[in-house]
Amino acid sequence: MANLVVDSSVAIKWFLPEPFSTEARRILDGYQTGADTFLAPDLINAEFGNIVWKKHLFQGLDATDAQTVIDEFRKIAFMHISTAALLEDAFLLAVAHRRSVYDMLYLALSIRENCGFVTADEKLVNATGSLFPNMIWVARWP
């Protein structure tokens, strides 16, 4: 079983149709078959909830459907790591690479656990991916 850091930009694609949802669902398939274990900073819960809230408020996602997405997301057994445990490393990465601490929490976890980090944030991958070979853009998921 392999550890894999997954961010909210990938997780939302498991439940709602977006570009690269097919690739994202292949990642979820790996979890569901037991091939992968998902890790994430505990921040993922707030980020995911905020994405669903925005889709409800601004993109017309029905309130019942939004609640269903939240309920289904909560069924995924992430190994949640405290942001407090990652903050120092994330801050140093953020300063060094001029990226948000939020994004760098995921990268810091990936570095700490020496495992892959998959994101749908193409700008993040373009800015830092060449320096961190464990970072994978969801569109390139096999």
Q: What domains appear along the chain, each with residue ranges and CATH number?
A: 2-140 (3.40.50.1010)
pLDDT at site 142? 87
4-36 confidence digits (pLDDT tens): 999 999 999 999 999 999 999 999 999 999 999
Write down the pTM of the prediction.
Answer: 0.96
Residue 1 has pLDDT above 80, yes or no: no
Kindly list the strands in the beta sheet with 36-41, ordered across the sheet, starting from the edge strand earlier in the chain.
79-81, 36-41, 2-6, 116-119, 135-137
| pLDDT single digits (tens) 88-104 | 999 999 999 999 999 99
